[in-house]
Amino acid sequence: MSDTFKIDFATPALPETGDLVVCVRDDLALGALASGILGEAAGVVAKAAGAERFKGRIRSVIKVPAPAGLAVDRLVIVGLGGEKDVKDFDWVSLGGVIAAAIAGREATLIAEFPGLDANVDRIADLTLGARLRAYRFDRYKTKRKGDENGDKDDKQDEKGGRLTIALPEPQAVKKAAKRREGLAEGVILARDLVNEPANTLGPVEFADHAAALEKLGVEVEILDEKRLAKIGMRALLGVAQGSERPARVAIMRWNGGKKGDKPLAFLGKGVVFDTGGISIKPSGSMEDMKGDMAGAACVVGLMHALAARKAKANVVGMIGLVENMPDGRAQRPGDIVETLSGQTVEIINTDAEGRLVLADLLTYAQKEYEPRFMVNLATLTGAVLVALGVEHAGLFSNDDELAARIASAGEATGEKVWRMPLGKAYDKLIDSKFADMKNTGGRHAGAITAAQFLQRFVVDTPWVHLDVAGTAMASPSTDVNRSWGSGYGVRLLDRLVADHYET
């Protein structure tokens, strides 16, 4: 992100340049501030609305040339909807709609929202949405959109731009927006990592991104292959052994809570590329498997967000970084590995690798940190896409309270989860003839048997597994995201921590 999107604050006055953005509900009436600033030109709103059939519906926007007498370039009118939209009004989305409307330009938003109960936090939420919408991943585009030979089908918005938010007392909002800025950076960091291709983002490079959090006061430890072998993370190393590129585990600690308080643990699957290994995947869409580290990307983005806003909690983030490749040294179907926990696993399919990486992380987290809870995130199964599509991440848990807290954080942020079952009958499906368990459970209930596998490595810690294969990559367009990698989970888990675990 070079020419980034900027947000600043000012007291209301008629701007001299750029666009002027005003919001109206479905009666098209301007608020007192906006009509004061527009003066005689205020009538243009009703006129333009008539001409453009603009009804002030929620998410609708019209852009009109500035009326005579105003120095600004354009007037942008944003609809807030009507009474029926008030209850679930989403301020983050509104920010996204506004950022899209100004599309890389400079604009002043009159922070007045007729019919809605705006406050400091809500306007700050708007800034979060605007920042997220303005993101695009174009590091590898050598031609700008619209250039000759440039990609004119690019569905992303223009990049960059500046939004000045005008309101009578900007200071408090400015402070609240600053806290959201760290969160936006965390989401954007996660998106960048997911979007980055695997040729430039191997386990070592990924670990460097984790290490870069030290500048925010995060303690970072990188475990190399030698250390991992000494510790005994043989399941994780087994996945990595077919790759030229060595495995890493990165451990990130943010100690913002009381000394001695047990940490919250967040663990992420970081398969920088998943070919399937010897059980190789079909080539169609295999390029998507550069995103198989989205769980790890979320953990790094989350640690960034928590540290940037100095969250009052002790948190440990742990990510397992490997590349799953077929090779003369690669793990085979039929191999039996002894995990760090001491339990043995028969490898049936080398493409069920994420659970092997996470198994050792789960064991290590419990032994080393005795966490208050563990949440792991992984693009673990195609089966979760079959079950839930791209709307919800699959949630599996041994703890009703933690599961419910994450579900409500999902409702609040729009990063939704859906709880799925665990149980003895499913667990039986991964019993092995030759070892304690096997790494696949057959054709049925693939997302659940993967979760059962992980649960065999949870001793008695409250635990949640989020299967984010449908939500973290190849993401649908929303008001706040146009990127392939969504950064899913950063806002969800930041919210979980903020709502329940800060002292």
Q: Is the backbone of residue 439 left (phi > 0), alpha (psi -120 to 50) or beta?
A: alpha
Give the shortest CB-271-to-Zn ion separation in angstroms: 5
Kindly calculate the radius of gyration of the chain based on its CA atoms and give it in whole angstroms: 24
**Burial (CB count <10 Å: 0-12, 13-18, 19+), residue 89:** middle
Closest by CA position to 46, among listed 63, 30, 68, 57: 30
Q: How far apart are CA 179 and CA 19, in angstroms?
A: 26
Q: Is 383 in the site for ligand BES (CB under 6 A)?
A: yes
Handedness of CA 429, 434, 437, 441 (dihedral sign): negative
Q: Is 274 in the site for Mn ion (CB under 5 A)?
A: yes
Q: Is 292 in the site for ligand BES (CB under 6 A)?
A: yes
**Burial (CB count <10 Å: 0-12, 13-18, 19+), residue 468:** buried
Beta-carbon count within 10 A of 445 CB: 19
Specify the amino acid at residue 419.
R
Helix (H, G, I), strand (E, B) or coil at 171: helix
Q: Is 382 in the site for ligand BES (CB under 6 A)?
A: yes
Q: Is 446 in the site for ligand BES (CB under 6 A)?
A: yes
Q: How many residues does the chain have?
A: 503
Q: Which residues are catalytic?
A: 281, 355
Closest by CA position to 281, among listed 320, 326, 240: 326
The CB-side HSE value for 212 (13 A sphere, CA atoms) comes to 11
Q: How far apart are CA 388 and CA 379, in angstroms?
A: 13
Give the shortest CB-276-to-Mn ion separation in angstroms: 5
Closest to Mn ion by CB, 273 or 373: 273
Q: Which of 26, 112, 192, 274 binds ligand BES (CB under 6 A)?
A: 274
Q: Is 381 in the site for ligand BES (CB under 6 A)?
A: yes
Task: Identify residues 147-206 at the interface with Zn ion (CB under 5 A).
Answer: none
Give the shortest CB-285-to-ligand BES separation in angstroms: 8
Specify the amino acid at residue 230.
K
Buried b or exposed e, range 95-121, using 16+ CB within 10 angstroms: bbbbbbbbbbbbbbbbbbbbbbebebe
Backbone angles phi, psi at 125, to 5 degrees: -60, -40
Q: Is 480 in the site for ligand BES (CB under 6 A)?
A: no
Cβ-closest residue to Mn ion? 351
Give the shortest CB-412-to-ligand BES separation in angstroms: 26
Q: Is 323 in the site for Zn ion (CB under 5 A)?
A: no
Q: How far apart are CA 365 and CA 317, in angstroms?
A: 9
Q: Is 354 in the site for Zn ion (CB under 5 A)?
A: yes
Beta-carbon count within 10 A of 467 CB: 34
Give the shortest CB-374-to-Mn ion separation in angstroms: 22
Closest to Zn ion by CB, 292 or 346: 292
Closest to Zn ion by CB, 56 or 354: 354
Task: Identify residues 263-322 at the interface with Zn ion (CB under 5 A).
Answer: 271, 274, 292
Give the shortest CB-269-to-ligand BES separation in angstroms: 8
**Partner touching 469 among ligand BES, Zn ion, Mn ion, none, CB below 5 to 8 Å by kind:** ligand BES
How many residues of this chain interact with ligand BES, rule: CB under 6 A?
A: 14
Task: Identify residues 301-360 at the interface with ligand BES (CB under 6 A).
Answer: 349, 351-354
How many residues of this chain interact with Zn ion, rule: CB under 5 A?
A: 4
Q: Which of 138, 323, 351, 494 binds Mn ion (CB under 5 A)?
A: 351
Beta-carbon contacts of 215 under 8 Å, excluding residues fewer than 6 positions away, are none
Closest to Zn ion by CB, 274 or 360: 274
Closest to ligand BES by CB, 165 or 298: 298
Q: Is 323 in the site for Mn ion (CB under 5 A)?
A: no
Give the shortest CB-344-to-Mn ion separation in angstroms: 20
Q: Is 270 in the site for ligand BES (CB under 6 A)?
A: no
Beta-carbon count within 10 A of 132 CB: 29
Closest to ligand BES by CB, 103 or 390: 390
Helix (H, G, I), strand (E, B) or coil at 6: strand
How many residues of this chain interact with Mn ion, rule: CB under 5 A?
A: 3
Give the shortest CB-166-to-Zn ion separation in angstroms: 48
Closest to Mn ion by CB, 264 or 380: 380
Residues of the shown chain interacting with Zn ion in the complex, contacts defined by CB under 5 A: 271, 274, 292, 354
Binding site for Mn ion (CB under 5 A): 274, 351, 353
Which residues sit at the interface with ligand BES, rule CB under 6 A? 274, 292, 349, 351-354, 379, 381-383, 440, 446, 469
